[in-house]
Amino acid sequence: MRLLHTMIRSGDLDRSIDFYTQVLGMQLLRRKDYPEGKFTLAFVGYGDEKDHTVIELTYNWGVSSYELGGGFGHIAIEVDDVYAATAEIRSRGGKILREAGPMNAGTTIIAFVCDPDGYQIELIGKKP
């Protein structure tokens, strides 16, 4: 078994694809409209789906926003250098929620950014 993807809903699919590809550096792997169901799916990630876990962005036609709820926490992405990644994301227009630095009561370097729909993404420094 392996983890295939995490699905999140988007209020503006093009805006979300732009964030994940242009700000976070992922690739748009595939996109498909489902006219009978009135939704579109787009899959983004850092590598091919056969070898990598990806994010499924779901756009339900005509729905521009969602309540994020209290149960969802965040998506985590490992980066080589959290400080550099945060600076790069900021320069690309990304919103930084928590600046890079040691986690609370620990030494792991982390930061948090926010996607256009309000989903939090944790950047975690690669362990030596």
pLDDT in tens, 48-68: 999 999 999 999 999 999 998
Query: Does residue 114 lie within any of the structural domains?
Result: yes
Q: How many CB atoms lie within 10 A of CB 43?
A: 19
Selecting among 49, 78, 88, 122, the annotated active-site residue is 122
Half-sphere exposure of 81 (CA within 13 A, CB side): 5
> pLDDT-derived band of residue 2, with 50, 70 and 90 as boundaries?
confident
The two structure tokens encoding residue 84: 């550099």
Q: Of 60, 84, 105, which one is at a domain's C-terminal end?
A: 60
E strands in 13-94: 27-34, 39-45, 54-60, 75-79
Dump pLDDT digits (tens) for 6-45: 999 999 999 999 999 999 999 999 999 999 999 999 999 9
**Any domain includes 29:** yes
Which DSSP symbol is given to 64? -
Q: Is 122 a catalytic residue?
A: yes
Do 106 and 79 lie in one domain? The reply is yes
Supply the pLDDT for residue 77. 96
pTM: 0.87
Q: Is residue 68 part of a domain?
A: no
The radius of gyration of the chain from alpha carbons, rounded to an integer in Å, stands at 15
Sign of the Cα pseudo-torsion (71, 75, 78, 83, in order)? negative
**Taking a C-beta distance cutoff of 8 angstroms, is the pair 88, 43 a contact?**
no
